A and B are shown apart, each in its own frame.
Chain A
Amino acid sequence: MSEHRFAVNVLPKPGILDPQGRAVEGSLGHLGVEGVSRVRVGRRVELSVEAGSEVEARATVERLARELFSNPLIEAFEIERIDVLVEAGR
């Protein structure tokens, strides 16, 4: 068994109202920033999974991403490997 670390990035799907993204866009004028558009605000979840292989670990992360971290009606997710493998039993 080894530990695998992932990040899950969750964002509102295209076309879904994103009031937080709009609010951020609305604030840009106050910062004197121009030329920024299509701001989307989401969330990022980082987690470590103990599993026999990266493939197995990724399957667990995918299930969690689909069922818990995102709502498939309104959000899309991407899974990212963020750490090298840490061997168990050090």
Chain B
Amino acid sequence: MSARIGVVVFPGSNCDRDTLRGLELAGAEAVPLWHEQGSLDGVAAVVLPGGFAYGDYLRAGVIARFSPVMKAVSAFAGAGGLVLGICNGFQVLAEAGLVPGALLRNRGLRFLGRDVRISAERLDTPFTSLVGDGRPLRMPIAHGEGCYFADEATLGELEREGRILFRYVDASGRRAGEAGDPANPNGSLQAIAGVLNARGNVAGLMPHPERAADRLLGSDDGLPILRSLVEAASRAARQGLDSAAERAPVAVGA
């Protein structure tokens, strides 16, 4: 059975088609969810795609946070439903408080569109179970506000609880520094490229796995991330919502 996964379409989303296509390549039945709808049509997982929801006015993600569909997404996440936010979707999740932290203006101020390398810090989550061995994954970023920020207490908690999902790395897989290291494109604290919520069923990441889901695009390193989600969503659809969080992270010693 292929899992039905919803991709939210906000006014200003521009990666929704790529994400639908990427999820289909990963084996899902992918359906668009319009931002004004208050229900999720019974999907087994939700992806918030990249783009500039509501023009990114005020702050990236903040206006989208108050849309009808986000009320449904919050309730879904609260019930253990799987939610992945990519780029602008990550910004929306952070503004909604569904994942910790905030995405600040890139440290170098410029909008950046180029390939980066990230590595999965956890290989046992619904978003990374098929990523394999933690080798560097090459995929594009395309953002102006991607500098991950959280206060020190939160960063400590994320580290202790194994909730840093992806970090920027260099080609050899070495963790990037914070400022001035070209492997960390936006100056994210602790080179964080993606995080998990406490329950482990909501994740956000800045790079675009759907833009690296086919060799024709120059890399298919993003496909295992989408495949992991599709597999976890299929399992969740079979077992009911509550078990979607069965792989919630456990503390992994600091």
B109 in contact with A19 (CB, 8 Å): yes
Q: Which of A1-52 contact B (CB under 8 A)?
A: 16-17, 19-20, 23, 43
A17 in contact with B147 (CB, 8 Å): yes
Number of chain A residues close to chain B: CB under 8 A: 11
Query: What's the least CB distance linking A21 to chain B, in Å?
Result: 10
A19 in contact with B107 (CB, 8 Å): yes
Contact of A19 among B58, B101, B106 (CB under 8 A): B106
A73 in contact with B105 (CB, 8 Å): no
Provided the pairs A68-B66, A73-B102, A74-B104 are in contact, do residues A17 and B187 lie with their beta carbons within 8 angstroms? yes
Q: Which of B106-150 contact A (CB under 8 A)?
A: 106-109, 147, 149-150
Q: How far does the alpha carbon of A43 sit from the alpha carbon of B57 in the complex, in Å?
A: 12
Using a CB–CB distance below 8 Å, which chain A residues touch chain B?
Answer: 16-17, 19-20, 23, 43, 68-69, 71, 73-74
Q: Can you pick out 25 interface pairs between chain A and chain B where the beta carbons lie within 8 Å of each other?
A: A16-B149, A17-B104, A17-B107, A17-B147, A17-B149, A17-B187, A19-B106, A19-B108, A19-B109, A19-B147, A20-B109, A23-B109, A68-B58, A68-B62, A68-B63, A68-B66, A71-B95, A71-B102, A73-B101, A73-B102, A73-B149, A73-B151, A74-B102, A74-B104, A74-B149
